[in-house]
Structure 1
Amino acid sequence: MCIGVTYLGRRFSSPFWSSLGSNFAKVRQDPNVRAVILCSNTRAFTAGLDLKEDSLSLVGADSARSGLLLREHVLEFQAAISKIEDCERPVIVAIHGVCYGLGIDIIAACDIRLCDSKAQFSIKEVDAGIAADIGTLQRLPKKTGNDSLLRELALTARSFGPQEACELGLIAQRHVVEGGKEALMSKALQLAQQIASKSPIATLGTKHLLNYSTDHTVNEGLNYTALWSANALQATDVQDAIQAVVSAKNPKPANFKRLGKL
């Protein structure tokens, strides 16, 4: 089994965020990868978008043309971040230091969020004179459970730490890690290895069905799951998993086959 690791930079420029999307598209096609860790190899997770970049001030011959160019730019951003959510492997994000602006858009698209005990977050966009437009305002209302706090944080752009991130529902309390970046990465790797040891058919299906259920009714989700399971239950993984559990006195973890290339 293989665990993919993708690194972020301190600030996001156009070449970087476009490569981020393409990296996750490649992961989706790699039959060997069973889980992904998203992290940063700099002092902070990310300080957000590079506000000095020329692409943020696109101009056309008139306001209508300028608006169309800017719309395409935003859609490209959105598509790149959505590749994380659309990646059919569980994505664990390890957050240390500051995570501002576009960093929140990115972690909102991940499956499991871990942070160090000194991490700082901010939905920073209103301080730049804009509403967050790359996924924060669309994903967090569905993934967090404190609407009042979410609105306050989005409207004020104030920084908040792990305690409030837990209160918001952005981070689980058990996923706040003491001991700095090294301990954080160790925890992320341990979790990724645990997930990667499971049937890739089961983990892929679980993520896919959870994502589907986010935007559909319970009955729609149940009907779709029935169709999904009609195929998935025919995988050899089911028998392999059962055999591993019931085998004599010394049950061993099942050795699941890799996925075929999607």
Structure 2
Amino acid sequence: MENFRNLEIVQKSPNSPVFYLYLNRPSLRNALSHDFFTEFPKALWSLDQNPNVGVIILSGNGDHFCSGIDLKVLASMSKRVQSNDRGRTGERLRREIKGMQEALTAIERCRKPVIAAIHGACIGGGVDIITSCDIRFCTEDAFFSVKEVDLAITADLGTLQRLPSIVGYGNAMELALTGRRFLGAEAKELGLVSRVFASKDVMDEQVTAIAEGVAARSPLAVTGTKAVLLRSRDLTVDQGLDYVATWNSAVLLSDDLVEAISANAQKRKPFFAKL
């Protein structure tokens, strides 16, 4: 398995379809480096293409999930895009931003479900990351902030686009304009996370169990559900229904369907081929 400077991939149990992807700069509270934006989509692609992977749990090594983008990245990017021509400076900066956006959108492009397990700080770019994830859980002491406004930045890596559909437009506007810190209990109340756990150890145990449960389902149904939900986000109901009809016309009549029906009739656990 490929090694990364800013990330760590761990399969905690042999033969388990659940793989952990850790942000791995604990001494810097997992601040996002320039290398992260190259490594992250590569890591997700490798996990997506690995047939042994059913579900990915995204977490952070150390005491925090992610403290946001490393400010050194902003400083170096500012120098890197400079040109005597204002137009070319702007075009270079746009390309830099688009590349960083694509790195986080890789979570949505990954066919396998990505579950965020959040503890400690989840600030700025950390919120960009978790809003791209399919399911989110956190500890009681986790804290969140859409921090960019305090750095004179309009958040540009996905939070402003994804957060409103998760917590509602009004709540997203308030959080983004104030940059205020809020804790796990409020994150649950807002709908940002599905469940809150008393400690990281409890969260890790419970989230692994949830991921194992998802991974035990038909991989065609799991990846299809993710793809259809993401696509339907940008469609009308009629368009979404048409899309899922087309999707299922291609994959519904599968060996997985036969196995699921047989297992149900025989009152046994189904076994599905890897994807």
TM-score, normalised to structure 1, is 0.93
**Corresponding residue pairs, total:** 252
Of residues 137, 162, 174 in structure 1, which corresponds to 2:184?
Answer: 162
Moved more, 228-237 or 213-222: 228-237
Match 2:116 to one of 81, 93, 96: 93
Identity of aligned residues (%): 41
d(CA) in 2 for partners of 1:82 and 1:36?
A: 15
**1-side partners of 2:254 and 2:182: how far apart?**
45
Match of 2:193 in 1: 171
Q: Is the 8 A contact 2:164 2:171 kept in 1?
A: no
The equivalent residue for 2:46 is 26
- TM-score w.r.t. length of structure 2: 0.89
- Choose from 68, 76, 80 the match for 1:55: 76
- Residue aligning to 1:75: 98
The answer to whether the 8 Å contact 1:120/1:162 transfers is yes
Structure 1 segments, 4+ long, off by >3 Å, are: none
The superposition leaves residues 48-68 of structure 1 with CA deviations (integer Å, 9 ceiling, x where unpaired) of 100123433131222211111
Equivalent residue, structure 2, for 1:206: 225
How far residue 234 of structure 1 moved from its aligned partner, in angstroms, is 1.6
Secondary structure in structure 2 of the residue aligned to 1:61 = coil
Note the residue ranges of structure 2 that are not aligned, 5 or more in a row: 1-15
Supply the AA of the counterpart residue of 1:164: E
> Structure 1: any 5+ residue segments left out of the alignment?
none
Give the deviation of 1:206 after TM superposition: 0.4
Structure-2 separation of matches of 1:177 and 1:24: 26
Residues 160 and 172, structure 2, Cα contact 8 Å, conserved in 1: no
Amino acid at match of 1:2: P
Supply the RMSD in Å over aligned alpha carbons: 1.2
Query: Relative contact order (C-alpha < 8 Å, sep 6+): which is higher?
Result: 1
User: How far apart in 1 are the matches of 2:76 and 2:114?
Assistant: 29
Question: Residue in 2 aligned with 1:151?
Answer: 173
| Among 34, 37, 52, the residue aligned to 1:17 | 37
State the Cα deviation string for residues 51-99 of structure 1 (Å, max 9, x = none). 1234331312222111111111100110000000111111111000010
* 1:137 alignment partner AA: L
| Aligned residue among 144, 149, 152 for 1:121 | 144
How far off its partner does 1:239 sit? 1.0
CA contact (8 A) 1:150 1:168 kept: no
Letter in 2 for 1:70: L
Indicate yes or no: 2:125 matched with 1:102.
yes
